[in-house]
Amino acid sequence: MSTQLLALYSEHADTARALACRLLYDPSEAEDVVQDVFLTLWRRPECFDPQRGTGKAWLLTVVRNRSLDHLRRRCHRSREDVSALAERLPDPHSEDVLDELTSAARAEVLWHLVDGLPACQADLIRRAFVSGQTHQEIADATGLPLGTVKSRIRLGLEKLRAGMRSATLADVAC
């Protein structure tokens, strides 16, 4: 069998390599596929059935199939590589640490200013913005007229806006 294998190799190896290279676009991987096919034939010569076709047809079919297997593995491997890379990349939707710290500092200043408002305004602002109550729900819960609730919240927000402006200006270094 070894002389027949050598004859098959010398006669069709270049064609097999060319086919694998056309499918894989990588000469070294094509060489590996052809070598693997010939090793399989050498180890298990019974794989080839002369009743089903010529040696060349069988060889090129096996080279084509193995090349396609390599392509599938390569595609699967690249998907895994992309997934691994994506896991290491920062989340584009998450805020920058500096932005988070700045937001936390602003929130702290804001709630300090809310604590400095008159109690009637601070309570209504907390109900509206922390508890999520509507103006009507606040009016019903406190017994205040709806117009009074709206006026006190608006007045409190104006004081907070002015306080935040001066707090921000105090942070700016000239």
Query: Domain 97-171, what architecture?
Result: Orthogonal Bundle (1.10)
Q: Is residue 174 predicted with pLDDT exceeding 60? A: no
2-42: pLDDT as tens digits? 777 788 788 888 998 998 888 888 888 889 999 988 888 88
CA angle 143, 149, 152 (to 5 degrees): 135
CA distance 20 to 96: 48
CB 8 within 8 A of CB 40: no
What is the domain partition of the chain in residue ranges?
2-88, 97-171
Q: What 3-state DSSP class applies to 130? A: coil
* Helix and strand numbers, DSSP H then E, in the chain: 7, 0
CATH number, domain 2-88: 1.10.1740.10
pLDDT higher at 72 or 55: 72
Burial of 16 (0-12, 13-18, 19+ CB in 10 A): buried
